[in-house]
Structure 1
Amino acid sequence: MNAFLHPSDNRGHVKMGWLESKHSFSFGSWYNPKLMGVSALRVINDDLIAAHNGFGTHPHDNMEILTCVLEGTISHKDSMGNEGGISAGEWQLMSAGTGVQHSEINQGDEPVHLLQIWIIPNERNAEPNYQQIKCDPREQPNQWHLIVGPNENAPMHIRQQAEVKTAVIQQGQSLPIEATQHINYVHVISGAVKIAEHTVEAGGAIAFIEASQIEALQDAQVIWFDLPELQG
């Protein structure tokens, strides 16, 4: 199987006081010209945010920003009028479009662990939009759960021909990976999995084209990005 392996050790590691972050792709002060994203997937940041700290109000535009909270609760506020908490097992999709200001603050007494994911949209300067759902794959293991998709009937609608699914797979169990688009990218949040002949451990990922299956070598949580082949 023709595949691109992205071990956890290849990620950038940035620590600055209240924030410890591991970057799958170039971001901020950490730059690797060989790691600029896969297809429309531009950012996966694995963030640990200290108590009573966070990202103050700042702007974004023309980016689909997906947040997956793994532990704790992050408090969100934006210029569209949305305000509230996003807790472990919940997902937020902010389509920045023409521009939005937002903040993400840990108001609790314990660290918050989350993934921040950026996907480049296929529509520029659209109206900003906010969506939030609860989908904790631990409650229904060994099956794929669709989080975002290009169709309006997806749990959250993304402005790109892409789907994002997640699963908790128990040791020894397996799931099929059959893309609707062209490029598969599987990021392992925890545990270890095997895809074809490749073992991928927590924090690592693999990109590939062919249909395959994923087997849990340990209890694992994963995110599967089903991505288009971009032109140009």
Structure 2
Amino acid sequence: MIELRPYDSLGGANHGWLDAKHHFAFAGYHDPARMGWGALRVWNDDTIQANTGFPPHSHADMEIITYVRDGAISHQDNLGNRGRTEAGDVQVMSAGSGIQHAEYNLEAQTTRIFQIWIIPDQRGGAPTWGAKPFPKGDRAGRFVVLASGIEGDEDTLPIRADARVLGLTLAAGESAEYVFGDNRYGYLVPAKGVVEVDGLRVQARDGAAIRDQASIRVTALEDAELVLVDTAP
């Protein structure tokens, strides 16, 4: 089963400095039919204006993965971590027993991110933060694991959940296949471009909710950049 969730159907709010679209219920957007997808709880499509951002705030017991689509995001937290993550790269925060952080767009241009929250397998634990570059050329024509809590996944950012976050870039006309394990949930969003997922047309920033599928085949109708989450129920 693949359910299309068009971008125009997403919830969200425009705060001026932040234009946020929510694939799942979040903040002031409540939809009992979209409370999550397996262990995937949040997928926010955020557009952040230059020299603005999220002031210090707290999180606990959540794996928070930030995929930068355009621009860059700067992170700082109460553990002393600081970092700047550029377009195409990824940062991960395991909130664990609790962490306070801030995220700012300190650039002269607009920053666009996907922020993905996954429910961890266990509560508590020491909070951590990390970031890693993922050159888009390395994932040309193939899915590359960006963050994972699945044994055997190497050279990724670690998360504390039975899930993985993957990236893929395709040139127009190219295809790639992804094979799921048993009883898995998938959620795919093109950051850019238009694709077909098993023949279903998915526009940029639409969501495709996948369940009870042994595999999917993604074909680019134009140059495309995609993010996929594969998670346990």
Question: Following the alignment from structure 1 to structure 2, what is the Cα–Cα distance between the partners of residues 3 and 115?
Answer: 21
- Select which of 215, 219, 224 maps to 1:220: 224
Note the C-alpha offset of 1:197: 2.8
Q: Does 1:164 align with 2:179?
A: no
Q: Aligned residue for 2:91?
A: 92
Q: Secondary structure at the match of 2:69?
A: strand
Q: Does 1:45 align with 2:44?
A: yes
1:26-175 paired onto structure 2 within 5 Å: 26-138=25-137, 140-150=139-149, 151=151, 153-175=154-176
| Identity of matched residues, % | 34
Q: Does 1:21 align with 2:32?
A: no
Normalised to the residue count of structure 2, the TM-score between the two structures is 0.93
Q: Secondary structure at the match of 1:13?
A: strand
Question: Following the alignment from structure 2 to structure 1, what is the Cα–Cα distance between the partners of residues 94 and 119?
Answer: 10
Note the C-alpha offset of 1:193: 0.9
Task: Pick which of 175-184 and 15-24 moved more.
Answer: 175-184
Q: Aligned residue for 1:200?
A: 202
Question: Following the alignment from structure 2 to structure 1, what is the Cα–Cα distance between the partners of residues 120 and 156?
Answer: 17
Letter matched to residue 221 of structure 1: E
Q: Secondary structure at the match of 1:9?
A: helix
Note the C-alpha offset of 1:89: 2.1
Q: Secondary structure at the match of 1:57?
A: strand
Deviations 1:67-115 (A, max 9, x none): 1111112211001110121111221000000000000011222111111
In the alignment, is the contact (CA less than 8 A) between 2:69 and 2:191 conserved in 1? Answer: no
In the alignment, is the contact (CA less than 8 A) between 1:137 and 1:145 conserved in 2? Answer: no
> For structure 1, which runs of at least 5 residues remain unmatched after alignment?
none
Note the C-alpha offset of 1:142: 1.0
Note the C-alpha offset of 1:138: 4.4
Question: Following the alignment from structure 2 to structure 1, what is the Cα–Cα distance between the partners of residues 160 and 220?
Answer: 31
Deviations 1:93-148 (A, max 9, x none): 00000000000011222111111111110110111111210013245411111101
RMSD of equivalent CA atoms: 1.5
In the alignment, is the contact (CA less than 8 A) between 2:139 and 2:167 conserved in 1? Answer: no
In the alignment, is the contact (CA less than 8 A) between 1:71 and 1:113 conserved in 2? Answer: yes
- Select which of 188, 191, 199 maps to 1:189: 191
Letter matched to residue 132 of structure 1: A
> For structure 2, which runs of at least 5 residues remain unmatched after alignment?
none
Number of aligned residue pairs: give it: 228
Question: Following the alignment from structure 1 to structure 2, what is the Cα–Cα distance between the partners of residues 101 and 140?
Answer: 33
